[in-house]
Amino acid sequence: MSDACIFCRIVAGTIPATLVASNEHGVAFRDVNPQAPSHLLVIPRRHVASLAEATDGAALGALMLLAAEVARSDGLAEAGYRVVVNTGNDGGQTVHHLHLHVLGGRAMHWPPG
């Protein structure tokens, strides 16, 4: 955990967030700046700066399963949803703690931008 990392502080409970699910590997909460009608973030409990630094395949799989769970619970599974992982500055990552964006509630277009 890093005191400077906003997502580590959410995991620790020192910054409020609208939590929607959690398990031993991760926490899911609503994005404060949603880019779709439903925009959830899924983060690991342990600080991992980005996907490029991830080494635990089982933990990554658990995060993906948590993303699918919150998509179902938010009513996104039938129509579909998008899961995005931005990695590094050029990849659009602005918080350097691995996180999955779960976006839905509208049609997603390609290319994303």
- Catalytically active residues are 99
The dihedral region occupied by 75, where left means phi > 0, alpha psi between -120 and 50, and beta the remainder, is left
Taking CA 58 as the corner, what is the angle to CA 8 and CA 79, rounded to the nearest 5 degrees?
80
Pair of tokens at residue 62: 């658990």
Counting every residue written for the chain, the total comes to 113
Single-letter residue type at 41: L
Question: Which phi and psi angles does 8 have, rounded to 5°?
Answer: -60, -35
Helix or strand holding residue 41 (H, E): strand 38-44
